[in-house]
């Protein structure tokens, strides 16, 4: 649910925040580590622009592999994670171990989840793609067997299983791309939580700074061409060159940068609507 505010100030006038349905509990200490270091800097010098330290926070160690097969776990709580969009769920396994997982919609405190090839097709369960029926929504999908989920991990995202061809399963990703993945790769059933996160508005630049993002200056707004290829007297009449360039001179904004050409064989239909 999105919460709006009374316009009592300029910073709050357009602000829209997400009301998260999470439990008011302290994070599991054994599964958190401090995030330290100067973001975007190397030896004191800026190496990655537009970044800063931001508000201090701890990283929650999330189990993307779900490697405890056949061991049932109970959802102890649904918690907020400042490092990602969806909420996270704290699992308590029957052998006493605790782990965090990404929380899908419909997963509630007290529910049981399990991982493995014989698991039931239910929200929060993790099983191979070849064992999941067509049309089902999945997330946290493995690309390489045993490496853990690497794609479809953002708030409100899910992929749909379209077809099964031999040892491969065709899945439709949130971008619209149809990709074939080995059927022995694991995925979690369900749609990830916090789908309304994309409808939020920070309202002021200071909120961005808390999140570790410094102000971004457009190239055409710079005065000296030594600072940016777009700089100079082009503020009101374009960038002065046929194609946009980065501050370091290479082509950007539309230039194809995909390097893993050998994985093109796994793409059945590109996100641009063209068949590969």
The residue among 25, 105, 97 whose CA lies nearest residue 115 is 97
Does 131 lie in the same domain as 248?
no
Give the residue with greater pLDDT, 127 vs 276: 127
pTM for this prediction: 0.90
For residue 174, pLDDT beyond 80: yes
> What would the pLDDT profile of 242-269 be if each residue is shown by its tens digit?
999 999 999 998 888 878 788 889 999 9
* Average pLDDT score over residue span 146-150: 96
User: Can you give the pLDDT at residue 151?
Assistant: 97
Does 83 lie in the same domain as 19?
yes
The residue among 149, 213, 221 whose CA lies nearest residue 187 is 149
The one-character DSSP state at 104 is B
Among residues 163, 197, 231, the one where a domain terminates is 197
Longest dimension (CA), the chain: 68
For residue 275, pLDDT beyond 60: no
Among residues 148, 180, 197, the one where a domain terminates is 197
User: Can you give the pLDDT at residue 258?
Assistant: 79
CB burial of residue 231 (10 Å; 0-12, 13-18, 19+):
buried
CA dist 274 and 264 (Å) reads 13
Structural domain boundaries, residue 243 = 222-276
Asked, for residue 212, whether it belongs to a domain, the answer is no
Does 167 lie in the same domain as 233?
no
Asked, for residue 211, whether it belongs to a domain, the answer is no
Give the angle subtended at the CA of 252 by the CAs of 248 and 257, to the nearest 5°. Answer: 105
The one-character DSSP state at 10 is H
Does 107 lie in the same domain as 18?
yes
Supply the CATH number for residue 250's domain: 4.10.950.10
User: Can you give the pLDDT at residue 276?
Assistant: 47
Pick the range with the lowest mean pLDDT from 23-27, 52-56, 144-148.
52-56
Supply the CATH number for residue 88's domain: 2.40.50.140
Does 252 lie in the same domain as 154?
no
Does 184 lie in the same domain as 227?
no
Asked, for residue 179, whether it belongs to a domain, the answer is yes
Asked, for residue 215, whether it belongs to a domain, the answer is no
> What would the pLDDT profile of 197-227 be if each residue is shown by its tens digit?
999 999 999 999 999 999 999 999 998 999 9
User: Can you give the pLDDT at residue 273?
Assistant: 65
Does 28 lie in the same domain as 122?
yes
Among residues 197, 231, 261, the one where a domain terminates is 197
The pair of three-digit structure tokens given for residue 134, joined into one six-digit string: 């067509």
Does 160 lie in the same domain as 269?
no
> What would the pLDDT profile of 60-115 be if each residue is shown by its tens digit?
999 999 999 999 999 999 999 999 999 999 999 999 999 999 999 999 999 999 99
Asked, for residue 214, whether it belongs to a domain, the answer is no
SS3 180: strand
Does 110 lie in the same domain as 49?
yes
Does 109 lie in the same domain as 39?
yes
User: Can you give the pLDDT at residue 274?
Assistant: 56
User: Can you give the pLDDT at residue 45?
Assistant: 92
How many domains, the chain? 2
CA dist 54 and 141 (Å) reads 30
Does 264 lie in the same domain as 188?
no
Q: Which helix (DSSP H) or strand (DSSP E) does residue 207 occupy?
A: helix 205-210
Asked, for residue 70, whether it belongs to a domain, the answer is yes
Asked, for residue 97, whether it belongs to a domain, the answer is yes
Asked, for residue 206, whether it belongs to a domain, the answer is no
Does 183 lie in the same domain as 274?
no
């Amino acid at each position: 649910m999105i919460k709006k505010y009374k316009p009592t100030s300029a910073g709050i006038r357009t602000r829209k925040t997400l009301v998260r349905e999470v439990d008011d509990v302290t994070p599991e200490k054994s599964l958190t580590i401090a995030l330290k270091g100067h973001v975007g800097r190397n030896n004191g010098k800026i190496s990655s622009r537009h970044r800063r330290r931001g508000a201090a926070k701890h990283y929650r160690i999330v189990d993307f592999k779900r490697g405890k097969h056949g061991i049932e776990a109970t959802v102890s709580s649904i918690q907020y994670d400042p490092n990602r969009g969806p909420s996270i769920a704290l699992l308590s396994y029957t052998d006493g171990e605790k782990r965090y997982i990404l929380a899908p919609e419909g997963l509630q405190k007290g529910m049981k989840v399990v991982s493995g090839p014989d698991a039931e097709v239910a929200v929060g369960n993790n099983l191979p793609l070849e064992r999941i029926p067509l049309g089902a929504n999945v997330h946290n999908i493995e690309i390489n067997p045993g490496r853990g989920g690497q794609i479809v991990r953002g708030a409100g995202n899910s992929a749909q299983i379209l077809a099964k061809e031999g040892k491969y399963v065709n899945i439709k990703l949130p971008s619209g791309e149809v990709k074939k993945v080995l059927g022995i790769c694991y995925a979690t059933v369900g749609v990830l939580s916090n789908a309304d996160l994309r409808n939020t508005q920070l309202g002021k630049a200071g909120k961005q700074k808390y999140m570790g993002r410094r102000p971004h200056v457009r190239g055409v707004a710079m005065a000296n061409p030594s600072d940016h290829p777009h700089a100079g007297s082009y503020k009101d009449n374009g960038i002065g060159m046929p194609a946009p360039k980065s501050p370091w001179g290479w082509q950007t904004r539309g230039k194809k940068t995909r390097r893993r050409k050998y994985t093109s064989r796994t793409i059945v239909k590109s996100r641009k609507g063209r068949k590969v």
